[in-house]
Structure 1
Amino acid sequence: MNRLASATSPYLLQHADNPVDWWPWGEEALAEAKRRDVPILLSIGYAACHWCHVMAHESFSDADTAALMNDNFVNIKVDREERPDIDAVYMTATQAMTGQGGWPMTCFLTPEGEPFHCGTYYPPTPAHGMPSFTQLLAAVAQAWAERPGELREGAGKIVSHIVQQSSPLSEHAVDEQTLKAAVTKLRQETDPGHGGFGTAPKFPPSMVLEFLLRHYERTSNPAALSIVELAAEGMARGGIYDQLAGGFARYSVDAAWVVPHFEKMLYDNALLLRGYAHLARRTGSGLALRVTGETAEFLLKHLRTEQGGFAASLDADTEGIEGLTYVWTPEQLVAVLGPEDGAYAAELFTVTAEGTFENGASTLQLPRDPEDATRWLRVREALLEARSERPQPARDDKVVAAWNGLAITALAEAGLALERPEWIEAAVDAARLLLDVHIAEGRLLRSSKDGVAGTAAGVLEDYACLADGLLALHQATGESLWLAEATMLIDIALAHFADADAPGAYHDTADDAETLVQRPSDPTDNASPSGASALAGALLTASALVGPEQASEYRSACERAVGRAGALAAQAPRFAGHWLSVAETLLAGPLQVAVVGPDAAARADLLVGAAKAVPGGAVVLGGSPEAEGVPLLADRPLVDGAPAAYICRGYVCDRPVTTTEDLAVALAT
């Protein structure tokens, strides 16, 4: 066992028995490189990554390769999910050097941590114009021995470049014109045949779809809704969606959503759960409603940990083979279901003799809804039971604060709007775990495993996404605790992550965090919201829930942050989905609905009616009049002793309504 044996990260533990003398990232490893005067070999990946597993098997498990690494380098292994700050710094360097990035990421650094050569996966033998990994190791070791000054000089230039690349965005407001132009650009980039954007690989555009839904609700622009519906149906009917157990894979390797990269990530499923729930309540789509329910159940059944949090991911591989758990041949269907139902399932799920995946196997698609619901359920349950007896992908049980925040938000919102209290209860359990385990000495820690917190400090997205989740719980439960904890996280983020030289801009690491060769600050929304856009969203929601003085502070901070995102939103709206969603809600108010009643049962109809009808980003909260610690309910009494709903737009309130019919009319006006 090497130095990774005591790690809390499942990814690092996967490498604990390698013959490589791995070090975890830290001052000790850098000091060892300085003592030996050798370069650092930094390898970054994550537990669900297919090519990370491949390189580990081919190279890191090989004794001869390990000996070459140990003799010439200090070898550091990093879990990118546990240390997104380190990943961000060296991904920027990798992209600058190679024009692309990905995982596993392989970087060679000076003993001071400055990168001088970066790449991704390297094969064990030369292939496709790439050197073998051992050839690369030998070349770098020789270069360091013969011309270290030249490598150090080059590393210094690279660091200067990535520092320059991370400068704050210039001030450029996201106004009405920007939003309309974003919709036009997104429509031009939409795949008209299959939905989504671009060709292959194709990723779920969850935050962009949320923006388009909010834009449609505010403007009634049918183009925005059509983009959402096309993408949502394409994903839900494709192989990227698990037609048996629910939940979405990370991305599709083709343009038609047929063949996924099979890893399932918590953040994708949390964001998509929220998006499909929003679509279901807005349009009444039966498909969206079904996918919402199945995705929520996937989270609860397959990603929920014993402590009540949500695990980071399921692996792409099963026993080293991608798709082993999930794909089928016609013969396998017949073996489970018999000839008649087997043929029916093959036709229903597009399982062909040629196969849509590899070796004659097919992913399961569902191009149309089954006409015979009883037969469909029988076939689905039989296949799911048979699949459960196959080898299963490993699960990364690491609980990441930011991603759990996204899951809490989705479950709380969907649970309230779709009347699924068990989803809200699951969100409460996750929130309690985060507050009990991840808060230490008044600050947030990034991850935990088995109820034990890791050592990595929370980054901006952790504070922001968890705060947003707690704000959603405050609305779903009416409990003041969640609002108090959310504002505590927001206040820490404002104090420690703001860029002192650029109002409205934020760093991804705190001002007292570990010093890296560059302090990361990435405003783009990628697979999940950027830390800065997530904080802007939390600030806006909080501004609609707290008292007047604090509300003004939070809203102003949100406006300043969004004021930095205009150029990004205009030039690349696909990478500014969360920013655009926040901007839409800024223009819409946000809408506030306060429901008061003597008890939960009395106000239930009004509360659920409001949750079903409000646009995305709106605030809906119920409770007793003048409930302590719940500012939105202050000065909002019962009406003639009956429950009432108070509707406010842009902090200007209508007369209260007391029936669900009047509430629906008022919200539709």
Structure 2
Amino acid sequence: MGTNRLAGAASAYLRSAAHQPVEWHPWEADAFARAAAEDKPVLLDIGAVWCHWCHVMDAESYEDPALAELLNREFVCVKVDRDERPDVDARYQRAVQAIARQGGWPLTGFLTPDAQLFHGGTYFPPEPAPGRPSFREMLERVLAVWRGERGQVRAQAKALRHALAGHLDEAAPGELSDLVLADATHGILATADRAHGGFGSRPKFPHPATVEFLLHRWCDAPEPTLRAVIHEILDGMANGGFRDLLGGGFHRYSVDERWVIPHFEKMASDNAELLRVYARAAALFGRPAWTAVARETVRWIREVLADPDGAGGFGASQDADTGAGDDGDYFTWTREELAALLDADELAIALARFGIGSLGRMPHDPARNVLFTAATAATLAERFGGTQEEMERLLDGIDGKLRAAGARRTAPFVDRTRYAGWNAMLAGALLRAAPVLEDPWAREAGLAALARLRREQSRPDAVAHAAGGVAGLLDDPVQCAAAALDAFEVTGAAEWLGWAEALMDKVWSEHWDADRGGFFDTARGRDGEGLLAMPAKPLQDSPNASPNGVAGITLARLFEHTRDPRWRERHRALVAAFGGAAKELGLFASAYLLAADWLVHPATHLVITGPAGDSLADRLHRRALASFLPRRVVVRLTPGGAPDRLPPALAALAPAADQVRGIACAGDRCLAPTAEPEEWVARLRSLVPTRYLSE
């Protein structure tokens, strides 16, 4: 079998289509020049290597020689990896949503030779289905319009482009206050599913930025409903099949409202954000179950995503499937498979614990079950006898047997591409989780990934999306700067603070909109075909935290670490640029709400003084890093450090950095310094509403 133009692509998703009979182009100027020369429409297919329905459409349509003959004769076909080109995906997703009222992958677009979209949809089946034409029927309809109604095609493309302009720029000026944040919080709580946890109905996405925002709000105003919603979503996600109970880590989203049946792909970005929020919530509320979830997520990152050559860094995703016709079989189990591995007593307990034969049955094959927590160890101990501790040991043994059997299965493909933004997100999450979990691997892996990212860049203030890939995307340098600040707080090494400053200065000069405010998602001056030329300023978390939201938080942290007024001025300008959208977007702009929270409320500074390498100072430092406090800033100040970078109240308390002390200040309120670890922990706990923690 021959190969097409995608055989040498850097993207694993594009290479997976190299054997197809379709004459694919990657996204490149040559494809559109060819379409213009041959007067053909462009078929745009956007997907991902982890995407189940992308695999389905590939097998059903793009590997069909008869359909490929039609495509090759009448269209110029372009295939895009949405992970490799998020700038292409973001714009054409919005354009297709305007037509089809839905988006997702695979995205199927029909473009003019100048890359303007005039029609599109998502998955098209090989045969007609209720409310959905077959792919061949759709192709023939598009060709008929292209040949006979070219004026209508141009008018549709122009109208879509015009409509899209208003959607891509999400800036809406407005002032933020505590009242606005409170209103946004109540709007978020109104969407909470109080029965099953999470927000809305089905399908359910995790919204980790929202949970983190609610953690901050609860610390500032400990309403019982806030705490309850936080607990319900974290417990719901942890106990459902949305979390891989055996392999660790989280799947993409849940197709049902109970978090039981997921879409099985696992993403680096999602797991980074979920690891961060579970570690922070565990630090705040002291819930061992959430600590265990964070620990198991780290295990999946270490075993599956971590670079196998040990050079540092992480892959991008783990596929949902192992091949054509598969739909999560690697992650699901039949009763017979369990019976072959467990003795009679273990089997009875496993069936009850995992809810075999109940909510987790796969719709396409009810014999297969997603494992979820249908019964706790305490409930099982009461039902089957023995103590809870004995039951927990028995459950650990069952899990061990199932993991060993799972290791003998063919695992889904892991995309080893090291995308900069996602690597930074994982690095930052590991650095944040390491002290909570007391996990030295997490700390070293986070630092190694960041060091490799920084080392591989062509310039100290630039970040490419991947090695040899596109540059000038907003999310990559913003996420790297955020993680660099995490590394600075963990190590105290000034080089990380310097890198964060250099990156954010470059972001300001190349992405800031001087007219309306906000950061563009691509640098000014980047050329591009079709909709790529349209400026976009994303505010919504979709589903990961928006780059403008993360940028706002990073600007705030830079000011708190440096006291340089330019960072405060830029932070204030960014928050003001989107202030008019805060209440309306609410749940979908939680990262931005966190950025606004940093502006409206004071930061909490934790300063540890003492010589470098001093064991007592290091112990105080680790305790500070393991705490959760709203708008927390950790500073390790050694002799010769720069106390002028501290707020005035703190600088007055930390003149002698050679003395070992822990100093905590929430805004202008500072607690008495201490060198006693137990007293330091007590002071840290006094800064959160501890009387409400166990309610």
**Same fold by TM (over 0.5)?**
yes
Contact 2:663/2:670 (<8 A) preserved: yes
1:271-286 alignment to 2 at 5 Å?
A: 271-286=273-288
In the alignment, structure 1 residue 540 sits paired with structure 2 residue 556:
yes
Contact 1:105/1:119 (<8 A) preserved: yes
1:108-257 alignment to 2 at 5 Å?
A: 108-257=110-259
In the alignment, structure 1 residue 313 sits paired with structure 2 residue 327:
no
Greater Cα offset, 629-638 or 316-325: 629-638
Contact 1:258/1:365 (<8 A) preserved: yes
Distance 1:258 1:513 in 2: 43
Distance 2:72 2:42 in 1: 10
Gaps of 5+ in 2: 378-387, 688-695
Distance 1:486 1:640 in 2: 24
| Cα deviation digits, residues 287-339 of structure 1 (max 9, x gap) | 11110111111111111123421111111112231121111122211101122
* Corresponding position of 2:396: 377
* Corresponding position of 2:594: 581
* Corresponding position of 1:450: none
In the alignment, structure 1 residue 567 sits paired with structure 2 residue 583:
no
| Cα deviation digits, residues 339-370 of structure 1 (max 9, x gap) | 22112111111112796223322111124442
SS of the residue corresponding to residue 572 of structure 1 reads helix
* Corresponding position of 1:657: 674
For residue 440 of structure 1, report the CA deviation from its aligned partner.
5.2
Distance 1:523 1:355 in 2: 35
1:296-307 alignment to 2 at 5 Å?
A: 296-306=298-308, 307=311
* Corresponding position of 2:342: 337
Contact 2:641/2:657 (<8 A) preserved: no
When residues 552 and 655 of structure 1 are mapped into structure 2, their CA distance, relative to the original with a 3 A threshold, is: farther
* Corresponding position of 1:395: 414
| Cα deviation digits, residues 383-416 of structure 1 (max 9, x gap) | 0000111121111112111111211111111113
SS of the residue corresponding to residue 620 of structure 1 reads strand
| Cα deviation digits, residues 105-164 of structure 1 (max 9, x gap) | 111111111111111111111112222112222222232222323311221121111112
* Corresponding position of 2:380: none
For residue 657 of structure 1, report the CA deviation from its aligned partner.
2.9
SS of the residue corresponding to residue 535 of structure 1 reads helix
Q: Residue type of the partner of 1:529?
A: A
Contact 2:637/2:657 (<8 A) preserved: no
Contact 1:457/1:513 (<8 A) preserved: no
For residue 260 of structure 1, report the CA deviation from its aligned partner.
0.7
Of 580, 585, 591, which aligns to 2:604?
Answer: 591
* Corresponding position of 1:607: 621
Distance 1:38 1:275 in 2: 49
Distance 1:341 1:7 in 2: 48
SS of the residue corresponding to residue 592 of structure 1 reads strand
When residues 23 and 640 of structure 1 are mapped into structure 2, their CA distance, relative to the original with a 3 A threshold, is: closer
Distance 1:392 1:419 in 2: 29
1:616-627 alignment to 2 at 5 Å?
A: 616-627=630-641
Q: CA RMSD in A?
A: 2.1
Contact 2:109/2:119 (<8 A) preserved: yes
Q: Residue type of the partner of 2:504?
A: I
Q: Residue type of the partner of 1:98?
A: A
* Corresponding position of 2:383: none
Distance 1:431 1:23 in 2: 33
* Corresponding position of 2:43: 41
Aligned-residue identity in percent: 34
Q: Residue type of the partner of 2:341?
A: V
Q: Residue type of the partner of 2:416?
A: D
For residue 629 of structure 1, report the CA deviation from its aligned partner.
12
For residue 250 of structure 1, report the CA deviation from its aligned partner.
0.6
SS of the residue corresponding to residue 202 of structure 2 reads coil
In the alignment, structure 1 residue 366 sits paired with structure 2 residue 373:
yes
In the alignment, structure 1 residue 531 sits paired with structure 2 residue 550:
no
For residue 584 of structure 1, report the CA deviation from its aligned partner.
2.4
Gaps of 5+ in 1: 448-452
* Corresponding position of 2:7: 5
For residue 664 of structure 1, report the CA deviation from its aligned partner.
3.8
Aligned residue pairs total: 660
Contact 2:247/2:403 (<8 A) preserved: yes
Distance 2:449 2:355 in 1: 38
Q: Residue type of the partner of 2:327?
A: E
| Cα deviation digits, residues 241-300 of structure 1 (max 9, x gap) | 111121111111100011111111111111010111011110110111110111111111
Q: TM-score, normalised by structure 1?
A: 0.94
In the alignment, structure 1 residue 347 sits paired with structure 2 residue 391:
no
SS of the residue corresponding to residue 482 of structure 1 reads helix
Contact 1:625/1:634 (<8 A) preserved: no
For residue 442 of structure 1, report the CA deviation from its aligned partner.
4.9
Distance 2:349 2:660 in 1: 52
When residues 145 and 438 of structure 1 are mapped into structure 2, their CA distance, relative to the original with a 3 A threshold, is: farther
Q: Residue type of the partner of 1:533?
A: G
For residue 660 of structure 1, report the CA deviation from its aligned partner.
2.9
Distance 1:615 1:637 in 2: 21
Contact 2:281/2:290 (<8 A) preserved: yes
SS of the residue corresponding to residue 636 of structure 2 reads strand
